A and B are shown apart, each in its own frame.
Chain A
Amino acid sequence: MEIHQRTKLVEKSIEIALLLLASTSLIGVLLIILFVLREGSPVLMKYGFFSLITGGEWQPTSQIYGMLPMLIGSAYVTLAALLIGVPLGVGCAVFMAEIAPAWMAKLVRPAINLLAGIPSVVYGFFGLVVIVPLMRSLVGGIGFNLLAGGIILSVMILPTIMSISEDALRAVPRDYKEASLALGATHWQTIYKVTIPAARSGIIASIILGMGRAVGETMAVILITGNTPLVPKSIFEPGATLTGTIGQEWAYASGEHAQALFAIGIMLFAVIIIINSTALFFSRKKVGA
């Protein structure tokens, strides 16, 4: 009996220890929110949320912290990344799930996984040595611009969009396709009238997750967009992003300037949480719903 009780005690304490380990994620998230808010909120309080996000000037040396340039810059690169990356990514997913020969799908999947593991700084470096000079000769100017950033981001989000969309397309029940084909529809008619609509929520989720990746990416955009904190007149101009500004300025920022960078971090965090919960909403929907 004595031994039995001791084992019970040991088992119970192991369970408690595991619960403690499991709570790290929660503690981590809370600490992240707490510390980013703690450092960023003074600037947010002092200048006010609305004047910060509508202010068109970012001049930390004169205590002017308008974040509009970065908000627009981030929006531009993300939009460009989606405009290029979504047709390519979804098209490629449809290809892989529906028309690629089996051996090809088997070969390409691991390759995509490997490419998804390429560090973002390597993508940024490629953009710097290839896309920026290309922009210089095509558009003129210094070559560092928001479009160049968007192009590199579009390649970076390809693996995300491709793999999640492909999973969604493959999850569409066979009966749907068979019923459509039996009614005399061609393969292509079945794909775009039945399979894609049925996988819609998964495809949308993949696009939104790709968008989150584009908004949150730092090292690639910082090397390519020029990091100029001015409201960009067009996508062909240099600009700054939320992430790029933090990366560019944190090393020498101090006092209120450093707090302003944390305030940018709060903005970024808020945008990402909205994007990711939207993606979660779509990915929880069932196929065909």
Chain B
Amino acid sequence: MRTRVKVSQQMAFASLWLTAIVAIGALLLILLFILKEGLPSVSWNFLTTEPEAMGREGGIFSTIVASLYLTILSVMIAAVFGIGTAIYLTEYTKDNFITRIIRFAVETLAGVPSIIFGLFGFAFLVTFCKLGFSILSGALTLALMILPTLIRTSEEAIKTVPQSYREGSLALGATKWTTIVRVVLPAALPGIITGLVLGIGRAIGETAAVWLTVGGALRLPLSPMDSARPMTLHLYTLAAEGLSLPRAYATASVLLILIWFLNTMANLMINRLMVKLKA
């Protein structure tokens, strides 16, 4: 009896070890496979020259610019609305009818599939608002998409700021708004930055929603009203139409490295800020 219990525990733990190895292994396999195939083709030249012949030849310069353009614009828009919403929900209201509706909307928004955001952007921004296939249509769609992430992370960050900070500031005669801007937000900054980086990562990796709103023109976007093709969409086109497999691997690698770089930068920044705040 004793031994049977022991043996079944050992078997169970062995299979749990196995699931963990398989799960993490599968994820790592994907990452390493893409990098192994793609990194050798990534060169300075590949990053800085324009694609030619629909992407069969040349580099990916205009797609990098398009990705950065879209990401920066969308995160800037989402930051204003997201942090504003978080401040309102945490500092100005208790649990009431309005906040419950807003929270429900945020939760709903977080669950909407990206292709629906795409359909919406296409019907509303591209067609109804006559913005056309443009960086602006794409950035507005992306901003709405990453808004829930920004609201949640900023809210969490603001909530962790000790109440005594606010009381201290108010006691010194500062107004509520001054307290928020000078005391609460700086203290919540690490958490807010985490949210921004998560948003950047999601915006840079998104494909379906930008496909239906930015179009896919393979040229250097200058004005926000230009159609463009970000890296994700370029990768899709190269793969789906079989234009150039080596360039697809290389584009995927650049995307992965960019996302890894952003993650690392964010972690570094957060650690720095934490040290500063504690000092």
Contact = CB atoms under 8 A, between A and B. Distances in A.
Interface of A: 7, 10-11, 14-15, 17-19, 21-26, 28-29, 31-32, 35-36, 38-39, 87-89, 91-92, 94-96, 99-100, 108, 110-115, 117-126, 128-130, 155, 158-159, 162, 186-189, 191-192, 212, 215-219, 222-223, 243, 246-247, 250, 261-262, 265, 268-269, 272-273, 275-276, 280
B116 A32 contact: yes
A123 B13 CA distance: 30
B30 interface: yes
Nearest to A250: B212
B120 A119 contact: no
A244 B118 CA distance: 13
B182 to A, nearest CB: 14
A7 B23 contact: no
B92 A25 contact: no
Interface in B1-45: 5-6, 8-9, 12-13, 15-17, 19-20, 22-24, 26-28, 30-31, 33-34, 37
A39 to B, nearest CB: 5
Interface in B29-77: 30-31, 33-34, 37
Contacts of A276: 107-108, 111
Contacts of A247: 115, 208, 211
Contacts, number: 237
Interface string B247-260: 01000100110011
B119 to A, nearest CB: 5
A199 to B, nearest CB: 15
B201 A36 contact: no
Given A18-B92, A24-B85, A92 B115 contact: no
Nearest to A123: B30
Interface residues of B, number: 84
Given A11-B176, A88-B19, A219-B236, A117 B148 contact: no
Contacts of A29: 105, 108-109, 112
9 contacts: A7-B175, A28-B147, A36-B116, A88-B22, A110-B267, A120-B205, A186-B5, A246-B119, A276-B111
B248 A186 contact: no
Nearest to A151: B26
B232 A121 contact: yes
A112 B27 contact: yes
B265 interface: no
Interface stretch (B122-130, B158-166, B270-278): B122-130
Nearest to A108: B24
